[in-house]
């Protein structure tokens, strides 16, 4: 499950054809916290796999995906249209309406050390579930 989520983050980070240093650091940080080695992550970055079926995740897992992809989208200080489209696509695969990305994006900070009220964000996101 963790590697699937890392793969989605890697796909997002590379959606603008460049994995920025800040994006790579966030991916590595999430991997380390979840027991995935730096070498495994670097291999995943070199060889990303297609995104699998996300529909069977729990609501908490779906929200975790959303939170992480929005934070990654914003971490380098630049948000590209391709990144927004990718996030909306992943939100759709997770069973959310695409508007959830705009809702969360306005409340999630680009700096991972600044944490938003996750419970409140999850409550707002749940209103976008299909």
Which CATH number among 3.30.750, 1.10.3680, 1.10.287, 1.25.40 corresponds to the domain 2-126? Answer: 1.10.3680
Question: Which own/partner contact pairs does 121-129 have at CB distance under 8 Å and 24+ positions apart?
Answer: 121/63, 121/67, 122/60, 122/63, 125/63, 125/66, 125/96, 125/100, 126/59, 126/63, 128/91, 128/96, 128/97, 128/99, 128/100, 128/103, 129/59, 129/95, 129/96, 129/97
pLDDT at 84: 92
Mind listing the pLDDT tens digit for each residue in 24-70? 888 998 899 889 999 999 999 888 888 888 878 899 999 988 998 99
Mind listing the pLDDT tens digit for each residue in 72-125? 888 888 888 888 998 999 999 899 999 999 999 988 876 666 666 888 999 999
For the chain, the structural domain boundaries read: 2-126
């Amino acid at each position: 499950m963790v590697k699937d989520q890392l793969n989605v983050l890697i796909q997002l980070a590379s959606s603008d054809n460049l994995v920025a240093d800040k994006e790579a650091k966030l991916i590595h940080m999430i991997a380390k916290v979840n027991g995935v080695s730096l070498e495994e992550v670097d291999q995943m970055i070199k060889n990303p796999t297609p995104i699998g079926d996300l529909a069977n995740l729990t609501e908490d897992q779906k929200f975790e995906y959303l939170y992480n992809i929005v934070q990654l989208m914003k971490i380098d200080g630049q948000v590209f249209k391709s990144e927004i489209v990718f996030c909306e696509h992943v939100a759709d695969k997770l069973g959310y309406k695409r508007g959830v990305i705009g809702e969360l994006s306005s409340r999630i900070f680009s700096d991972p050390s600044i944490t938003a009220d996750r419970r409140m964000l999850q409550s707002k996101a749940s209103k976008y579930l299909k």
